[in-house]
Amino acid sequence: MGANESREGSWSIKDVPNGVIAAAAVAGMALLAYGLYGRVSASEQRRKTMKAPGRGDQISRGDFQANPKAYFRDLRRK
């Protein structure tokens, strides 16, 4: 085989056009971003909320249960 002859079944990254490589990179980053967004939004949806005692808005139940004394102390300061 000479230097200019191609071998069947072998290829090089140099054979792929730059536009295809760029498109694949953009698609990969988009999939990664979508996956990260899905994880973040899913964890936010799982957070339980409750009506804030003494107010009309919603607060995180876990934050309140972790330290209710601090919640009421801060409520009186306002």
pLDDT of 9-64, one tens digit each? Answer: 777 878 888 888 899 999 999 998 888 877 766 555 567 888 988 888 888 888 88
Determine contact, residues 58/44, Cβ cutoff 8 Å.
Answer: no
Q: What is the model's pLDDT at position 29?
A: 93
Tell me whether residue 38 is exposed, middle or buried, using C-beta atoms within 10 angstroms of its C-beta: 0 to 12, 13 to 18, 19 or more: exposed
| Full-model pTM | 0.38
Instruction: List Cβ neighbours of 9 (8 Å cut-off, separation of 6 or more).
Output: none
pLDDT at residue 15, as a whole number: 83
CA angle, 20 as apex, 18 and 22 as ends, to 5°? 70
